[in-house]
Amino acid sequence: MQTFFSPEQRADPSLGASQQIIRKCVRCGFCTATCPTYVLLGDELDSPRGRIYLIKDMLENDRTPTAEVVKHIDRCLSCLSCMTTCPSGVNYMHLIDNARAYIESRYQRPLLDRALRAVLAWTLPHPRRFRIAITLARLARPFAGLLERLRPLKPLAAMLRLAPNRPRSSAKVARAAASGQRRGRVALLQGCVEPVLRPSIQAATVRLLTRVGYDVVAAKGEGCCGALELHLGREHSAMDAARRNVDAWIREVETSGLDAIVITAAGCGTTIKDYGFMLRTDPAYAEKAARVSALARDITELLENADLPKSAPKSLAVTYHAACSLQHGQKVTAAPKKLLAAAGFTIREAAEGHLCCGSAGTYNMLQPDIATQLRDRKLKNIDVTKPDVIVTGNIGCATQLASGTNVPIVHTVEMLDWATGGPKPDALER
């Protein structure tokens, strides 16, 4: 695609990167076939190609974002399915992140929208605040129906409906020693949302890692990965989070060594693997961030060749839901299914597995109508497979899907832990 960025614009790291990305687009339209919002809405401006046009015009001409442009950018899930489909290697992820940061710095959102986004950014990355928010949501849930009728307040209704009845108790893992032959030492991302909504995932991960020979540590000073703030356009806050985590993990690398940074929330993994790019212009962090990104592994990547203990086959039909951030963002597609099959489960796959379930970080709260349509479409395809359990590798997907089905939803690592000697997942006990 032809661009007309000025030399001054090209010298700016964000604008220069955006210009190079836009120029790779050949307008072939392959992305429209796999974009969830285009598939649903049929609007060219709600496709990656259409959004690239909008972003190009906005950035190239230094325009103040309009409400119409912001609407179409906000509708993007950042599912990155378009990047899997694109034959030209367009890095849409970096482009949409740059556009969101540009909008955040230049566009005055309506007061309620600003307030909702501020609440999400203040709450979700902080487990203690998130626990309090869940408690308050439980008290306010009876009013969700009323809020649903008032269009500007529909995101609030979505927040209340997605919130669990109560936060679950959890204790952060400081360290756990390998059992049997030692394979290595890893840091486990503690996360922010996952340990509040389902601490059993972290517990299962620690059991499984130590069982196959890894010492597990939690890096002191580590916090939220920054993904939620990045997708809200709060680029500087996201980069601060990245720097804090880089410092925490590099301390571990330089003191006792790390073989990997293990991540169980796929959305976090995509962002941490991108720290090297995020901090590329920071002379104090560029090299360290690249080292951290190189160490980041989804739990299934680490376990793929770990020779897990054999177990008796389980008489369960498992439909695997591939999180977008895992299959499109990290290109991890075969490992989860390979591990589950090796553990004795019967694996089924639903149609349209490339399409997003509508979770996408805070998307299911800020864009509840589209998110619900995508969830229902996903569950309709899953129901055809007649699963006993739905398995996924991302807490956001699990929460989103659980809001529309009674089929148990379990994290991949919980199933693998159970198959190799751990307890049966709580969701299967109900």
Q: Quote the tokens at residue 84.
A: 């899997």
Domain ranges (residues) in the chain: 7-106, 317-423
One-letter amino acid at 189 equals L
> Per-residue pLDDT tens for 316-333?
889 999 999 999 999 999
SS3 for 38?
Answer: helix
CATH code that applies to domain 7-106:
1.10.1060.10
> Per-residue pLDDT tens for 20-64?
999 999 999 899 999 999 999 999 999 999 999 999 999 999 999
* Predicted model pTM: 0.92
What value does the mean pLDDT of the chain take? 91
pLDDT score of 56:
97
Q: Distance between CA 55 and CA 57 in Å, rounded?
A: 5
Q: Distance between CA 316 and CA 233 in Å, rounded?
A: 42
Go through 271-299 and write b for each residue having 16 or more CB atoms within 10 A of its CB, e for each that does not. bbbbbbbbbeeeeebbebbbbbbebbbbb
Angle at 266 between CA 189 and CA 283, to 5 degrees: 60
Q: Quote the tokens at residue 309.
A: 């203990």
- Is the per-residue pLDDT at 306 higher than 90? no
List CB contacts of 19: < 8 A, sequence separation 6 or more.
Answer: 3, 5, 9, 10, 59, 60
Q: Quote the tokens at residue 230.
A: 């990045």
> Per-residue pLDDT tens for 240-257?
999 999 999 999 999 999
Q: How many CB atoms lie within 10 A of CB 67?
A: 10
Burial, 307: exposed, middle or buried (Cβ in 10 Å; 0-12, 13-18, 19+)?
exposed
**Model confidence at 314, in pLDDT bands (50, 70, 90)?**
confident
CATH code that applies to domain 317-423:
3.40.50
SS3 for 389?
Answer: strand
Q: How many CB atoms lie within 10 A of CB 198?
A: 25
pLDDT score of 168:
64
pLDDT score of 138:
79
Question: What torsion do the CA atoms of 121, 122, 126, 132 make, to the nearest 10 degrees?
Answer: -120
Q: Distance between CA 92 and CA 80 in Å, rounded?
A: 7
DSSP string, 52-70: HHHHHHHHHTTPPPPHHHH
In 212-350, which residue ranges form alpha helices assigned H by DSSP?
227-231, 235-255, 266-272, 275-278, 286-295, 299-303, 324, 334-342
Go through 104-142 and write b for each residue having 16 or more CB atoms within 10 A of its CB, e for each that does not. beebebeeeeeebbebbbebbbbbeebbebbeebeeeee
Q: Which residue has better confidence, 155 or 218? A: 218
Q: How many CB atoms lie within 10 A of CB 304?
A: 17
Q: CA 12: distance to chain centroid? A: 28
Average confidence (pLDDT) over 359-380: 94
> Per-residue pLDDT tens for 65-116?
999 999 999 999 999 999 999 999 999 999 999 999 999 999 999 999 999 9
pLDDT score of 174:
64
Q: What is the CA radius of gyration of the chain?
A: 21
Q: Distance between CA 313 and CA 356 in Å, rounded?
A: 30
SS3 for 410?
Answer: strand
DSSP string, 359-401: -TTTHHHHSHHHHHHHHHHHHHHHHHT--SEEEES-HHHHHHH
Question: What torsion do the CA atoms of 14, 102, 82, 273 make, to the nearest 10 degrees?
Answer: 60
> Per-residue pLDDT tens for 175-186?
788 887 888 999
Nearest one of 148, 190, 142, 145 to 165, comparing CA atoms: 142
Q: How many CB atoms lie within 10 A of CB 429?
A: 8
Average confidence (pLDDT) over 359-386: 94
Q: Which residue has better confidence, 156 or 371? A: 371
